[in-house]
Chain A
Amino acid sequence: MKKVLSVRNLSKTYGTGCPLCIASTGPEAETNVCPHCGSVVAIHDVSFDLYEGEILGIMGESGSGKSTIVKNLYFDQIPKSGQATFYDTDQTHPLFELNSAQQRWLKNHRFGMVYQNPHLGLNFNISAGGNIAERLLMSDLMHYGEIRQRVKTLLARTEVLLSRVDELPRNFSGGMQQRVQIAKALATQPPLLFLDEVTTGLDLSVQARILDLIMEIQQELNTAMIVVTHDLGVIRLLAGRTLVMKYGRIIETGLTDQILEDPQHAYTQRLVASAL
């Protein structure tokens, strides 16, 4: 299987940090705030691989660091240390050694991102169609008719009413805003897609439809995905493999089925047991 992404020893701390931070934080310490200097060790020593066409789930509760991983890989933050390599069809990209122009190119041509908060992923001052068009324009498509066609196709695919293609997203429901975000992320058919708590806060029926959509896309386009969530149900449905995070560290990793049937770490056991 072709590797798409490899991450090694990714770490991120908020604050100045001190030599005692790492030893004083983590699952055993039951905190990610260093008692000596007050810094927050958001993630420490995270390593994993992602292969073409697979969905990797990153699961954990609030403050576990799961979103931080994705924010650093998508260049929304700068890590404290670590490496990450993206394997393109004919090129390898060491993500944290790229300059901002190269990072922007990767974001526009090879990555897709869907945020929990649509305000982060959509421009609310332009129409739904305009949001998708912007992404197509950033990937150097310059034919109006083609852009228009692709916009409509993508919105139809994500079940957004075509009559609303030229409306501003502020008038849409939360679920529909998410679907526009997904359409926008998919516009360039990226080989790597990040989904950060995309169904959290939505009605159950809406969640279900979005999850179905994600699975269909994965089958059609063979996109590799990282799905961040605290919801076991989402993990169970989407992810082939899963990482379990606690206080910034990976405490368990493996096939989703195995983790859910036979969790090893005490914390994972509690999580699985408490799932409704």
Chain B
Amino acid sequence: MNAQLNPAVKTAYNFGFLDEYAKKEIRRVTLKAICIPGYQVPYASREMPMGRGFGTGGLQLSLALIGQQEQVKVIDQGSDDSVNAVNLRQFIEMTCPGIDTTTRTQDATLIQSRHRIPEQPLTEQQILVLQVPYPDPLVIVEPSEDKRKVMHGEADYSRLLVKLYEDIVQFNEITISHRYPTKINQHYVIDPSPIPRWDVPKLHQSKALILFGAGREKKIYAVPPFTHAEPLAFEDQPFRVENFDDASGQRRACVRCGCQDSFLDEFTQETGQKIYQCSDSDWCEQQLARRSESGNS
């Protein structure tokens, strides 16, 4: 039922927009997902007022988990101010009156993100919710969901591994860039959402709970804290993250804060010159503040 948490506040919707039954289902599905790391749990994904593909899965997770004392951060491509992040954050503010939002990663209790994991290491107190377009890494070798379920159940990923083999034969490299298939708890292989390779190692033995919500595909899955997470690779072809070295072999730095160990966005200026900047805007902000502080002291 549409319980009114605070009758004095005239809203047409329940706190968190979803009705309590919807939230209950999502929470139960999430618990199941945590109990079976990497297993895609189906759920009756609700239609939200933003398009499928715009984060309705992540949003349903966030709305089911948000409590009164929550500090919520929403980012897209690493940035708090990207259009998609702004839209989602405004919706959360509107439907969860009284909660706080923040851009500082370390202050957030719940982080909803599209395509990036923050550079700042997360803690046991935090939950990360990732937005997922394709929950199933096997979809590139098998279109039928029914057949894929059997493959996952039997941990039969040979057709996926053959694809990696053929990549190396043709290009001398595994060409999967984002959505790199990762084996969780030594059984289920997940699609970790379109995060770059750079972010995949953060799944392994993470202190924070990482949840994955696919609204359109109607699945929720999880990498619980301190879980083994290993990107698929061959013994003699190890997994590699993106390379940000320049032609002379020097690791590029962010043109704004000088950081040399974050994922960088590439921009071509009008002059034709390429510059590089931290993708994680809050990280960049804090690095810059730190540098000017040390510069002044």
Contact = CB atoms under 8 A, between A and B. Distances in A.
On whether the two chains bind one another, the answer is: yes
Interface of A: 100-101, 104, 126-127, 129-130, 133-134, 137-138, 142-148, 166
Given A126-B166, A130-B165, A133-B165, A144 B158 contact: no
Given A127-B166, A130-B165, A101 B236 contact: no
Given A143-B234, A143-B235, A143-B236, A101 B154 contact: yes
Output the residue of B159, B165, B166 with the most chain A CB within 10 A: B165
B169 A129 contact: yes
B235 A134 contact: no
Dominant secondary structure at the A interface: helix
Nearest to B155: A101
A218 B107 CA distance: 69
Contacts of B234: 142-144, 147
B289 interface: no
Interface in B155-177: 156, 158-159, 161-162, 165-166, 168-170
Contacts of A138: 156, 158
Interface string B233-266: 0111100000000000000000000000000000
B165 A144 contact: yes
A10 to B, nearest CB: 26
B162 A137 contact: yes
Contacts of B158: 134, 137-138
Main secondary structure on B side of the interface with A? helix
A144 B235 contact: yes
Contacts, number: 46
A166 B167 CA distance: 11
Contacts of B237: 144
A137 B161 contact: yes
Contacts of A130: 162, 165-166, 169
11 contacts: A126-B166, A127-B169, A133-B162, A134-B162, A137-B158, A137-B165, A138-B158, A142-B234, A143-B235, A144-B235, A166-B169
A127 B165 CA distance: 10
Given A142-B234, A144-B165, A144-B235, 6 more contacts: A100-B150, A101-B154, A127-B169, A144-B168, A144-B234, A147-B165
A130 B170 CA distance: 11
Contacts of A144: 165, 168, 234-237
A35 B271 CA distance: 87
A53 to B, nearest CB: 29
A148 B169 CA distance: 9
